[in-house]
Amino acid sequence: MDLTLKIWRQASASEKGKFVEYQVQNISTDASFLEMLDVLNEELVRKDEDPVAFDHDCREGICGACSLYINGRPHGPDKGITTCQMHMRRFKDGETIVIEPWRAKPFPVIKDLMVDRTAFDEIIQAGGYVSINTGGVPDANAIPIPKRDADTAMDAAACIGCGACVAACKNASAMLFVSAKVSQFAMLPQGKVEARERVLNMVAKMDELGFGNCTNTYACEAECPKEISVSHIARMNREYLSAKLVSQKE
């Protein structure tokens, strides 16, 4: 198939970006979206032009590196997958495809389609862990955990930290990302010990870094490649509220 690509090019964070149009020919419908971009980049290199920079690594939907905004949607038109899992059979011959980076203030553009998502790491550093050291822990089966709770924790833990939720949200809110971590630990006895500090610290960090608020549009859930449910946001709000009340009392 032959395609027209309109790609966001931006030399660096400080420079102004613009859309540039490219043509690609003879793309196999079995190729993945990123393989199509590989073909374009090889051609650009041959023509002595600057190849398009984009983040990618595992190319099987789990590392969370790829982050393209395709035809106005994070990770493209399909539900429940990342950009790297999308195949060209999803597009029509002759189609024009618009490719942009994540657009959110806390994710500044580094170059072209690459953005800086350090903010997510900072939120995790604010409390996305259980404060135990290596060694000296009880036997793994010492505390039985109801299967349903473990499964819910796993549903939340499936988050790959790609940032599609932020990119999809008109407020650039990170609530789905943060709530997935808060919820995972809230469901497990191991996480309960520090639950209060965790939710307060992570939410404070999220606000501090400039992520917006949640106005319940559910765009995050709709675009999440791991289909993480907004019910985790509801759980986080409950956790937050009760933590806030208790901390005020104290």
Instruction: Please report, as residue ranges, which positions from 99 to 118 form the binding site for other proteins (by CB under 8 A).
Output: 110-111, 114, 116-118
Should residue 120 be labelled a site residue for other proteins when binding is judged by CB under 8 A?
yes
CB proximity list for 209: less than 8 A, separation 6 or greater: 106, 119, 122, 123, 174
Q: Minimum Å distance from CB 116 to other proteins?
A: 7
> What distances in angstroms separate CA 218 from CA 62, 82, 152, 224, one per listed residue?
22, 18, 19, 10
Should residue 48 be labelled a site residue for other proteins when binding is judged by CB under 8 A?
yes
| Residue among 199 and 214 whose Cβ is closer to other proteins | 199
Residue 69, strand partner residues: 74, 100
Instruction: Write the burial class of residue 217 (CB in 10 Å: 0-12 exposed, 13-18 middle, 19+ buried).
Output: middle
Q: Cα(33)–Cα(54) distance, rounded to whole angstroms?
A: 12
Interaction mask 212-231, other proteins, x per CB under 8 A: --------------------
| Residue among 149 and 207 whose Cβ is closer to other proteins | 149
Which stretch in 1-9, 122-130, 170-178, 211-219 sits in contact with other proteins by CB under 8 A? 122-130
Closest by CA to 114, choosing from 223, 5, 226, 8, is: 8
Q: Cα(78)–Cα(90) distance, rounded to whole angstroms?
A: 8
Selected from 101, 191, 212, 225, the binder of other proteins by CB under 8 A is: 191
Should residue 16 be labelled a site residue for other proteins when binding is judged by CB under 8 A?
no
Rg (CA), the chain: 20
| Residue among 15 and 207 whose Cβ is closer to other proteins | 15
CB proximity list for 81: less than 8 A, separation 6 or greater: 61, 75, 225
Q: Minimum Å distance from CB 46 to other proteins?
A: 7
Q: Minimum Å distance from CB 140 to other proteins?
A: 4
Q: Minimum Å distance from CB 79 to other proteins?
A: 11
Three-state DSSP class for residue 112: coil
Q: Minimum Å distance from CB 44 to other proteins?
A: 8
Three-state DSSP class for residue 230: coil
| Residue among 80 and 210 whose Cβ is closer to other proteins | 80
Angle between helical axes of 175-186 and 118-125 (0-180°, round to 10): 30
Should residue 34 be labelled a site residue for other proteins when binding is judged by CB under 8 A?
yes
Should residue 25 be labelled a site residue for other proteins when binding is judged by CB under 8 A?
no
| Binding residues among 139-178 for other proteins as defined by CB under 8 A | 139-141, 144-147, 150-151, 153-154, 157-158, 160-161
